């Protein structure tokens, strides 16, 4: 691929000015924004303000004075705007896992005579663990039915109570059709919980347009909220007042400061809040989300597709001797914002890449995964990353003992 072509892609890139909003170390090509988004430069100042001025000076009065108490709703609204949600239908709270547990517990009550929870083998295993935990909690009255991702549509049958579907496969990048699967589920009386962890801010999501009813997702991946940033959950307006929150805490009470002895759920989506929010982390996310204020997600998706094409073409040019097999073999509308290759020595190759400043990650058993985050990646980054990959493969420099040693996190 000619250097001139890559330069012209960067020159014509309408998103290139966003890169300077992020803190990125020199010499690093960061292809892991789908696992932990980069740090927006505006965030450290906000954290310092919340800690020093608000907590340090205003102390407890900050709950009113600095509106800490409305953070879950305000941050939720910002996220809602990015995923095509109706007004007042998203809150920010807890982790994705906890939010999934909450919505799944509520959803199985909405389809009371059915006993099947459906998911697919391309789901992130964590979500399956949460389903399995809830089934135990419910006295093993429910059953998890797992099908292959390609079979999920035909598996939406009338005995299914709830389907838990992660839109984008964390390994291959395959993307389910949210509009079709939602329509089919509704016509069969199934509640679907969409997991948007690899969707939100990776491409335009249209919850309202698809008629989606329930969704969860995290904010530390494409949303750049920071490690372990609080997650979000969505409940469609029609369903909101039918939800019985299983974790019925005071933040979801209709009048928490009345201190009534009985729980009464708040109206709307906020009943899904449970305990006190982590104000520092949620404030960091609040500021991180402002990066997206003037960003057109259609442009983000278009650039992501071009970054993908360049990456795939450059690796293909290296020829079959690399032993790398493209795993993200889906059409543009059927994939998320990542590219994955399989290689039997994937783990060691990824460690060698990271050692040389090309940061992606490894997913068992053999996947090299690279996240494509158009706000802070250039076409030149992709060219350079594949050049380094090529050098590593040609020299076999990955085959050193230090690159075979597994860390706790891969």
Rule CB under 6 A: is residue 95 a binding residue for ligand PLP? yes
The encoded tokens of residue 357 equal: 């400043």
Contact with ligand PLP (CB under 6 A) among 54, 77, 89, 96:
96
Is 124 among the catalytic positions? yes
Contact with ligand PLP (CB under 6 A) among 70, 97, 356, 390:
97
Catalytic residue among 22, 30, 101, 124: 124
Site for ligand PLP in 289-308 (CB under 6 A): none
Rule CB under 6 A: is residue 146 a binding residue for ligand PLP? no
Is 21 among the catalytic positions? no
Q: Which stretch binds ligand PLP (CB under 6 A): 59-67, 91-99, 176-184, 352-360?
A: 91-99
Catalytic residue among 94, 195, 201, 381: 195
- Three-class SS state of 232: strand
Is 140 among the catalytic positions? no
Site for ligand PLP in 320-359 (CB under 6 A): none
CB of 165 to ligand PLP, least distance (A): 10
Burial of 27 (0-12, 13-18, 19+ CB in 10 A): exposed
Beta partners for residue 134, in sequence order = none
Helix axes 297-317, 3-11, angle to 10 degrees: 170
Rule CB under 6 A: is residue 218 a binding residue for ligand PLP? yes
Within 10 angstroms of residue 327's Cβ, the number of other Cβ atoms is 22
Catalytic residue among 171, 174, 175, 221: 221
Beta partners for residue 233, in sequence order = 91, 216
96 vs 270, beta carbon nearer ligand PLP:
96
Contact with ligand PLP (CB under 6 A) among 68, 101, 142, 170:
170
Q: Is-contact 195 178, C-beta < 8 A?
A: no
Site for ligand PLP in 353-372 (CB under 6 A): none
Is 184 among the catalytic positions? no
Q: Are strands 338-342 and 325-326 parallel, antiparallel or unpaired?
A: antiparallel
Q: Which stretch binds ligand PLP (CB under 6 A): 94-102, 299-307, 363-371, 399-407?
A: 94-102
Rule CB under 6 A: is residue 286 a binding residue for ligand PLP? no
78 vs 102, beta carbon nearer ligand PLP:
102
Rule CB under 6 A: is residue 232 a binding residue for ligand PLP? no
46 vs 369, beta carbon nearer ligand PLP:
369
Is 201 among the catalytic positions? no
- Distance (Å, whole) CA 207 – CA 188: 19
The encoded tokens of residue 83 equal: 């995923």
In terms of Cα–Cα distance, which of 180, 136, 135, 143 is closest to 160? 143
Q: What are the residues whose beta carbons fall under 8 Å from the beta carbon of 365, sequence distance 6 or more? A: none
Of all helices (H) and strands (E), which one includes residue 386?
helix 379-395
CB of 387 to ligand PLP, least distance (A): 29
Listed in sequence order, the DSSP H helices in 53-204 are 62-65, 71-82, 96-110, 125-137, 178-187
- Distance (Å, whole) CA 288 – CA 43: 6
Burial of 185 (0-12, 13-18, 19+ CB in 10 A): buried
Q: Which stretch binds ligand PLP (CB under 6 A): 65-73, 122-130, 144-152, 368-376?
A: 122-130
Catalytic residue among 170, 220, 376, 403: 220
Q: Is-contact 284 47, C-beta < 8 A?
A: yes
Contact with ligand PLP (CB under 6 A) among 46, 78, 175, 198:
198
Q: How many residues bind ligand PLP (CB under 6 A)?
A: 13
Q: Which residues bind ligand PLP (CB under 6 A)?
A: 95-97, 124, 126-127, 166, 170, 195, 197-198, 218, 231
Catalytic positions are 124, 195, 220-221, 369
């Amino acid at each position: 691929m000619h250097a001139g072509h890559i330069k012209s892609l960067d020159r014509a890139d309408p998103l290139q000015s966003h890169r300077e909003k992020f803190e990125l170390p020199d010499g690093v090509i960061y292809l892991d924004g789908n696992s932990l988004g980069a740090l927006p430069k505006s965030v450290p100042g906000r954290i310092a303000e919340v800690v020093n001025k608000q907590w340090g000076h205003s102390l407890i009065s900050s709950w009113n004075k600095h509106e800490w108490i409305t953070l879950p709703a305000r941050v939720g609204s910002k996220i809602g705007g990015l995923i095509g949600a109706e007004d007042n239908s998203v809150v920010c709270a807890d982790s994705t896992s906890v939010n999934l547990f909450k919505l799944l517990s509520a959803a199985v009550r909405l389809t009371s005579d059915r006993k099947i929870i459906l998911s697919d083998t391309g789901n992130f295993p964590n979500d399956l663990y949460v389903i399995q935990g809830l089934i135990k909690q419910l006295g093993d009255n429910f059953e998890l039915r797992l099908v292959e991702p390609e079979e999920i549509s035909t598996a939406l049958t009338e005995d299914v109570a709830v389907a838990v579907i992660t839109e984008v496969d964390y390994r291959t990048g395959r993307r389910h059709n949210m509009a079709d699967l939602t329509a089919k589920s509704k016509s069969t009386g199934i509640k679907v919980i969409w997991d948007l962890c690899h969707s939100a801010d990776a491409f335009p999501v249209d919850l309202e347009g698809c008629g989606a009813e329930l969704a969860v997702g995290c904010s530390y991946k494409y949303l750049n909220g920071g490690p372990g940033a609080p997650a979000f959950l969505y409940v469609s307006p029609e369903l909101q007042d039918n939800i019985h929150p299983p974790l019925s805490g005071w933040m979801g009470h209709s009048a928490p400061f009345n201190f009534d002895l009985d729980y009464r759920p708040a109206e709307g989506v906020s009943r899904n809040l449970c305990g006190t929010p982590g104000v520092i982390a949620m404030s960091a996310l609040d500021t991180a989300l402002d990066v997206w204020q003037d960003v057109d997600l259609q442009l983000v998706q278009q650039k992501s597709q071009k970054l993908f094409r360049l990456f795939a073409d450059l690796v293909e040019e290296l020829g079959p001797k690399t032993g790398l097999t493209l795993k993200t073999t889906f059409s543009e509308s059927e994939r998320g914002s990542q590219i994955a290759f399989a290689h039997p020595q994937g783990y060691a190759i990824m460690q060698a890449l990271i050692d040389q400043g090309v940061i992606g990650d490894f997913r068992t058993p053999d996947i090299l995964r690279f996240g494509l985050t158009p706000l802070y990646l250039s076409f030149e980054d992709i060219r350079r990353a594949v050049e380094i990959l090529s050098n590593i493969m040609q020299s076999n420099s990955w085959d050193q003992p230090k690159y075979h040693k597994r860390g706790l996190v891969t």
